[in-house]
Structure 1
Amino acid sequence: MSQRYQRREGGNGTLGNFFDRAYHVGESMDQTYGVPARKKLLVIGSVYPFTTVLALVFGTLALFPILTFVGFSIFVLLSFVSTALIGSLVLAGLVIFGAGTILLGIISLALGFSIFLTCSGFMTYISYRLAFHTWGSEGQGVGAWVAETMMRFGLIDVEEVRQALSTNYEPKPADNKSKPETEHAGDSETHSQLNSGVY
């Protein structure tokens, strides 16, 4: 047998070298473990023939059921583990989805409440400023209140209004050719408001 697989001079490539190495490893293991085991088995068989034959027959017949049992056990274990893992992932996903839905509802309520409080605060302050400008002794009238409100909401540019009220400012060309005279009625009030720092 060793003559059939002996290494050829020069070899026949990587595949041939692989088979040669595999053969030499198998032959080495056979010489190290197989031959001594067979010799011991022959010695034991010559001393205890009945027990040796019984052990060989039993081992041969029981090998397949044992391997089947081991394979079935591994299959059942992996099936239960995978099923439990998938079930755990699905259950965790449902719980996380439910918690996320609750969180989204809470955030929506918080956003709505924040908008309500902010709008209420602004409306209260605007109402206070309207009362100040119309009824207060230092008030500048409704025109000043409108200008102040527009500036607070960013509807007009404060710097542009200041430049418009300054003496060295040249107004930008407007889209309309004519402006109503009522637009210039509150310039003095807005000018005094900007100089007093109320904006």
Structure 2
Amino acid sequence: MDAGSGVEPSPPREEMTPRRKANNVWNEFISEAYQTGERYEKQYGIPARKKLVTVGSAYPFTTALGVVFLALALFPILIFLGFSAFILTTFLSTALIFAIILAGTIVVGAGTLLLGVMSMTFGFSLFLTVSGFMAFIAYRLYFHLREPDGRGLGAWKAETMMRFGLVDVAGMRGALASSGSRPTLPNGKPVQ
């Protein structure tokens, strides 16, 4: 803006630093705490004092006894509450740490047991799978050697290689369909 317009430029805004922000938050907290204290004083403190004065006027000995007892008992009560809170938090944290360690130990032990069971299961399944394959291969060998439709040891070898994926399946099917040609491996060489 120019100087002749009559409008003065606003002063530059101060940048809020983290310290100023913290001071503002702290000042707001103190202000809120003070206002809350004032409200409690008006709602509870003043009426309680008036009631204490009224009761104290009617029953001075009982009121004095109660005030002295409260003054003397306040310190032990606060110590008891603090000690109880300390014991509670100590026991809870100790129990939590112990529970985490115990649970971890149990999980590791169960994992070790699971690993052993899975290893045994894998070994048993491998044994059953290989046994099944071998029984099937033996049955097919018997078929090729003893049955009238069997084509001999070469056909059994070609069929076995095809079933294990060692030869070209399409070429093998063609070779098995026609008895004149020889089956080939995936690299093009004939099966021996």
State if a TM-score over 0.5 links the two structures: yes
How far did 1:53 drift?
A: 3.4
How far did 1:43 drift?
A: 3.5
Using CA pairs under 8 Å that are at least 6 residues apart, name the structure with larger relative contact order, 1 or 2: 1
Cα RMSD, aligned residues only: 3.6
- Partner of 1:68: helix, strand, or coil? helix
The answer to whether the aligner puts 1:100 opposite 2:111 as a matched pair is: yes
Identity of aligned residues (%): 55
How far did 1:96 drift?
A: 3.0
Corresponding residue number in structure 2 for 1:77 = 88
Letter in 1 for 2:48: A
1 CA distance for matches of 2:102 and 2:38? 55
How far did 1:115 drift?
A: 0.9
The answer to whether the aligner puts 1:118 opposite 2:129 as a matched pair is: yes
Number of equivalences: 162
How far did 1:156 drift?
A: 0.8
Q: CA 1:14 to 1:115, structure 2 compared with 1: closer, same or farther past 3 Å? A: closer
The answer to whether the aligner puts 1:109 opposite 2:120 as a matched pair is: yes
Q: Counterparts in 2 of 1:146-161, with a 5 A limit?
A: 146-161=157-172
- Partner of 1:89: helix, strand, or coil? helix
2 CA distance for matches of 1:35 and 1:72? 32
Q: CA 1:22 to 1:152, structure 2 compared with 1: closer, same or farther past 3 Å? A: closer
Q: CA 1:59 to 1:148, structure 2 compared with 1: closer, same or farther past 3 Å? A: same
How far did 1:29 drift?
A: 3.3
Structure 1 spans left out of the alignment, 5+ residues: 1-12, 167-173, 187-199
Q: CA 1:175 to 1:67, structure 2 compared with 1: closer, same or farther past 3 Å? A: closer
1:65 to 67, 76, 90: 76
Q: CA 1:20 to 1:111, structure 2 compared with 1: closer, same or farther past 3 Å? A: closer
Corresponding residue number in structure 2 for 1:53 = 64
Structure 2 spans left out of the alignment, 5+ residues: 1-23, 179-185
Corresponding residue number in structure 2 for 1:90 = 101
